[in-house]
């Protein structure tokens, strides 16, 4: 096994006939779905308050007043939920040399010619872009969200600063929305990915095709743990 690590502590090969690989622990999956649900609530409640033409969306939350107080509360919950995900995943999302090669061959991926791509660890460059993009934008959202949360922080910043914060908040939310859509699309487009966040496992064939370095490291762990 190389000095580079591509796997998280809970990752392991579960069975050999057929090969089933544990990709996400139960805690990580629950953490992911709490974050996703919060994000969906925030997107709809945020859109409902963004423009009068979208105000009808407040009906999903029982009216404008409910949407107004619910939005920032759920935002705080999502921030801390994503922070837990960040602590679990940031090391494996650091850029590596193979990410540069993978990005150069993105056209081959879209054509279904993954055999031309380099072997990858647990995450590819696209997944890492989603991770770091979300990380930056969520920090921007929580920071600007506190600035415009007049119920609890009415005198935190001046009115001109609050207006700028509101504009940045809206732009960051738009960025999160676009990344979220891309993330969901990629999860459905790459068959077998949804299973990782529902059951916690993937097939050996899926791991070999998409994240071969990760699988090889797990195989190395398994062989070292067997009694001699």
Active site residues: 183
d(CA 21, CA 205): 10
**3-state secondary structure (DSSP) of residue 118:** coil
Helices (H), the chain: 26-50, 64-89, 97-104, 106-110, 125-147, 159-189, 193-198, 204-210, 212-225
d(CA 31, CA 34): 5
d(CA 189, CA 187): 6
**3-state secondary structure (DSSP) of residue 203:** strand
Query: Residues 166, 170, 175, CA angle at the centre, nearest 5°?
Result: 145
Token pair, residue 64, equals 């404008």
Asked if 117 contacts 99 with a C-beta cutoff of 8 angstroms, the reply is: no
Question: Which of the 8 DSSP states describes residue 200?
Answer: S
Q: Per this entry, what is the length of the chain?
A: 228
CA dihedral 124, 130, 132, 136 (to 10 degrees): 180
């Amino acid at each position: 096994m190389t000095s580079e690590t591509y796997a998280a502590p809970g990752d392991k090969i579960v069975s050999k006939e057929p090969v089933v690989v544990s990709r996400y622990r139960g805690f990580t999956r629950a953490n992911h779905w709490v974050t996703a649900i919060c994000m969906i609530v925030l997107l709809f409640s945020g859109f409902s308050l963004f423009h009068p033409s979208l105000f009808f969306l407040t009906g999903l939350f029982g009216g404008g007043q409910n949407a107004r107080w619910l939005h920032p509360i759920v935002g705080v919950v999502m921030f801390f939920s994503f922070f837990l995900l960040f602590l679990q995943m940031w090391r494996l999302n650091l850029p590596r040399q193979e990410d540069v090669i993978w990005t150069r061959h993105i056209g081959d991926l879209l054509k279904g010619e993954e055999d031309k791509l380099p072997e990858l660890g647990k995450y590819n460059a696209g997944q890492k872009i989603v991770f770091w993009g979300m990380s930056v934008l969520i920090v921007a959202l929580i920071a600007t969200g506190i600035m415009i949360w007049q119920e609890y922080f009415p005198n935190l910043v001046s009115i001109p600063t609050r207006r700028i914060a509101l504009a940045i908040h809206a732009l960051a939310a738009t960025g999160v929305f676009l990344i979220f859509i891309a993330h969901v699309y990629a999860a459905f487009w790459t068959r077998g990915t949804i299973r990782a966040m529902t059951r916690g496992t993937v097939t050996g064939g899926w791991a070999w095709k998409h994240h071969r370095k990760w699988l090889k490291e797990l195989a190395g762990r398994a062989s070292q743990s067997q009694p001699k």
